Structures are given as C-alpha cells and as structure tokens.
Copies of this chain bind each other. A is one copy, B any other.
Amino acid sequence: MSRASDRAYEAIRSMILSGELPAGAQLAEEALAERCGVSRTPVREALRRLESDLLVTRTDTQRSFVADWSIDDVADAFELRAMLEGKAARRAAERMTDAALDRIRGANRRIAEAVGRPVADVVGFLEGNRDFHAVILEVAGSRRLAALLSTLIEQPVVWRTAHQYGREALRRSHGEHEELIAAFARRDGAWAEAIMTGHILRAYHAYADAHRGLAEQGLVREAAE
C-alpha cells in the first residue's frame, strides 16, 4: 500500500460508487488532489487505475470524466461476467479442496445471518457475497481470469441499487449459493458452471427490474443532472 496513491484511488472510487461524483462529471486532477489531500502525481495514477476499471473514461484530449454506464453497458458487463464466473466456478469445482469448501460454507453462513436479521443487513450481505465469490476465484487458480473479472465486479449503478433488492432476492441468492456448494462438494464442474451462470444472470435481472422500477419513478437519472 503506497500511501498517497492508494488513498487517492480509494477516495475517488468511493466518491464515484456513492454517486457523490455523478456520471459525466469532469475529473480535474488538481481539484481531486486537493479533495484527497495529496498532490497531482498520485491522483494521476489513481485515475489511470480507475480508467482501466472502466469507472472513468477519457476523451481524445485526455480529459477524465466519470463513466456513464448505459443500460446496454450494464447488460454487456453482466453477460461477460456470467460467462467468466461460470468458467471460474467450473475450474474451482475441479480443483476444490476441503479447506476452501469450508471457507465458502462460512461465507454463505454469514450471508444467511445477514439476511436473517430483523432488518436485513445489506452491507453484511454484500461482504459475505464478496468473500464467497473471492474464494471461488482463488480456487479457480487463474490469475488472468481473476484480473479480467476484477474489472467487471464492481459497477457503480449496481452498487447504488443493491439496497433496492428485497429480502426475497437476498434469500434466493443464498439458496443458489447452497446449490453451488453442493456442486463443489461433488467436484462437478459442469454443474457448478451452470448454476453460477444462472446465478449471475438472475442477479442481472433482479437489478434490471429494480432499475426499471426506479426509472418509472424518475429516481435514477437525478444524480447525473
């Protein structure tokens, strides 16, 4: 962790994910440097990283803006993610160890707890979910696959609408994870791939439905205006 540039990266990233910096906003290095309390050099580095994460775009004249994800972009990203995570699940099933399986079970147990709370703990759910998928990716054992997926997993729109998911959707997610665990326990790669692909695509449609609902209420574009 090289202090300043990582701090800048985290700071800008969270400003984008939270919507504090709305889609289309210009990202001037000097202004960001001041807001992050560092100089332009680490900010520049952070912007390049965010650009490769596709959270930031640059015009042909090198000016940076918060990326504006259209509905099609999100669909595109989910489609690719479904394919790649499916692949990861297949590889993971074929290489699964008992120790890793325990960690995956633990993550899903934490998810169950978060969902079971009197008031569903969405942040807890997201954390458990992240761990669950991270262990699978680790067991899949492909640096490249991990690198490719890392640019697809965190999208601002999704992040901001995750809280719209109902308890039912969270519970269904937990159930699909249980099925994945069964596939892993049997080391059945094809099964794991099928479930994972469906799991991601279902998550996409849950997002799309929630987003459509918001759009009808005129609640989505406000941040960009």
Please report which residues of chain A, range 116-144, place their CB below 8 angstroms from some CB of chain B when the two chains form the complex. Answer: 142-144
Q: In the assembled complex, which residues on chain B have CB atoms less than 8 Å from the CB atom of A83? A: 83, 87
Q: DSSP majority for the A interface?
A: helix
Q: Which of B44, B45, B142 contacts A76 (CB 8 A)?
A: B142
- Chain B residues contacting A49 (CB-CB under 8 Å) are 48
- Of A146-154, A196-204, A205-213, the one with at least 4 CB within 8 A of chain B: A146-154
Whether B144 contacts A80 by the Cβ 8 Å rule is yes
**Interface size for chain A: under 10, 10 to 19, 20 to 34, or 35 or more residues?**
20 to 34
Cβ–Cβ < 8 Å partners of A48 in chain B? 45, 48-49
A54 on the interface (CB 8 Å rule)? Answer: yes
Q: Shortest distance in angstroms between A81's beta carbon and chain B's nearest beta carbon? A: 9
Q: List 23 A-B contacts (CB under 8 A).
A: A2-B62, A41-B41, A44-B45, A45-B48, A48-B48, A48-B49, A52-B52, A54-B144, A54-B147, A73-B144, A76-B142, A76-B144, A76-B145, A77-B144, A80-B87, A80-B142, A80-B144, A80-B148, A83-B83, A83-B87, A144-B151, A147-B151, A148-B151
Q: A52-B52, A80-B145 are in contact. List 18 more A-B contacts (CB 8 A).
A: A2-B62, A44-B45, A48-B48, A48-B49, A54-B144, A73-B143, A73-B144, A76-B142, A76-B143, A76-B144, A76-B145, A80-B87, A80-B142, A80-B144, A83-B87, A144-B152, A148-B148, A148-B151
